[in-house]
Amino acid sequence: MAKKKQAESSNFNKTKRLALTGLLFAIALMLSLVESSLPPLIITIPGIKIGLSNIIVMYSLFFLGKREAYMIAILKAIFVFVIRGPISAILSLCGGVLSVSIMLMLMLILREKVSYLIISITGAVFHNIGQLITVSIIYVNIYTLAFLPALLISAVISGSLTTVLLRLALPAFNQFRAK
């Protein structure tokens, strides 16, 4: 009887986790669409954005798990493929997967001693690095390292901003998890 109850509880938790991941992905898509309707932050450097949907990836990594964070990053890239095309999708995928991987590695190495801010900034930096590496592979003749300083500065700013926004959104997100 106890095993049956435990199995039912496990199935319920898996279903709840899947539903929450789907809901978070929908929020990530909404944030991505909102951000794409905003004017560019720096007109002379293409692709610099705040990364609002990365708030959802970070939340997933911190509170759901690595599988859900990777799933949302990959699903975001598929969404980008449908909306913006294959090059943007590849950039999103490479930046997103590298970012989640590095944030996860940092969390594992530093355990309890790392803050949301450090993880967020590191994730933003490596998201930009992943995209920069991908661009340099796709467009061989473009000197992409010239963009690195501006991308690193923007990553620190956007990583800091997404940390603030995540902290503001935590009470609402935690209500989803509690139900």
CATH number of the domain enclosing 126: 1.10.1760.20
Write the pLDDT tens digit of every residue in 3-26: 554 555 566 588 888 888 999 999
Distance between start and end Cα atoms, the chain = 25
Q: What is the pLDDT of residue 15?
A: 86
User: Could you please report the per-residue DSSP string of 34-102?
Assistant: HHHTSPPSSTTSTT----TTHHHHHHHHHHT-HHHHHHHHHHHHHHHHHHH-HHHHHHHHHHHHHHHHH
pLDDT at 140: 75
Q: Is the pTM of this model over 0.75?
A: yes
Give pLDDT tens digits for 37-95. 877 666 556 667 778 888 999 999 988 889 999 999 999 999 999 988 999 999 999 99
Contact 127, 54 (CB under 8 A): yes
128-142 average pLDDT score:
85
Q: 42 lies in which domain range? A: 2-178
- In this structure, the number of other CB atoms found within 10 A of the CB of residue 73 comes to 26
Joined tokens for residue 47 = 């692709």
pLDDT of residue 137: 87
Instruction: Please give the pLDDT value at position 178.
Output: 59
Total structural domains within the chain: 1
